Amino acid sequence: MKPVVIFRHSPIEGPGYLATFLDAHAIPWRLVKIDAGETLPAATGQFSGLVFMGGPMSVNDDLPWIAPALALIRQAVAGDIPVLGHCLGGQLMVRALGGVVSRSPVKEFGWGEVSVADNPIAREWFGDLSVFEAFHWHGETFTLPVAATRLLSSRYCENQAFALGKHLAMQCHVEMTEEMVKAWCEVGSGETSGGSWPPVQSAEAMQQDMANRVAALNGIARHLYIKWVTGLV
């Protein structure tokens, strides 16, 4: 089987639970460290799927790797190779597919409830689930590309996830591990200091009951990833 390629844009925003899932299912994967200066491949044919992780930058920034990333996403979608985006990765998918990413009037940092849309495609991805607690770390939001279907919303962000065929883009984070939550709280303390929910939690609040929260989120992620890998080529 050809590997899944995972693009990392920040040292602390790696694949997290996704790596655990892929290893458990004997699905090979390769990590491309954009943050370390590694270059994006020119073509998608050597991969069974593409995954884009999060990062502190904006897809609207003038960065040399953004245009090649958008081109790869378009190439994958045209070739029916499944694409999966987490936060920044979801926003890259939006840009590549004709949507708009812009500054959100409200930032979301920490744990917060998201609601599953009431439509058949959302049911395909989430089953009978109607709400769950996701992890958030974003100050931007996006519109839906043409033909995409909204899957998730939160009180502060209407578009938290969408599907377009076998492709899945998320604004929220489902890939979190306890180690990632701790690292983000430490590195991002300037963004969350003095915060209180809603919609910005303090680092202390984010780490309360963390083991149970992360375990529950891993269960949600597992369900989504099982659906996504069925489309691998």
CB neighbour class for 114 (10 Å; exposed up to 12, middle 13-18, buried from 19): buried
pLDDT band (50, 70, 90) for residue 188: confident
Kindly tell me if the per-residue pLDDT of 213 is higher than 80. Answer: yes
pLDDT band (50, 70, 90) for residue 189: low
At 92-114, the pLDDT tens digits run: 999 999 999 999 999 999 999 99
Boundaries of domain holding 184? 4-229
Sort strands 167-170 and 83-86 into parallel, antiparallel or unpaired. Answer: parallel
Structure tokens at 113: 């409830």
Any residues with CB less than 8 A from the CB of 82 and at least 6 apart, and which? 49, 50, 76, 166, 167, 168, 228, 231, 232, 233
The number of domains in the chain is 1
Any residues with CB less than 8 A from the CB of 183 and at least 6 apart, and which? 12
- Residue 213: CATH number of its domain: 3.40.50.880
Q: Which of 183, 195, 211, 108 is nearest to 152 (CA)?
A: 108
As a whole number, mean pLDDT of residues 143-149 equals 98
Q: Which residue has the tokens 């996701």?
A: 134
pLDDT the model gives residue 153: 98
pLDDT the model gives residue 197: 53
HSE (side-chain half, CA atoms, 13 Å) at 198: 7
pTM of the model: 0.96
At 147-167, the pLDDT tens digits run: 999 999 999 999 999 999 999
Q: Give CA–CA dist 173/111, Å, rounded.
A: 10
pLDDT the model gives residue 196: 53
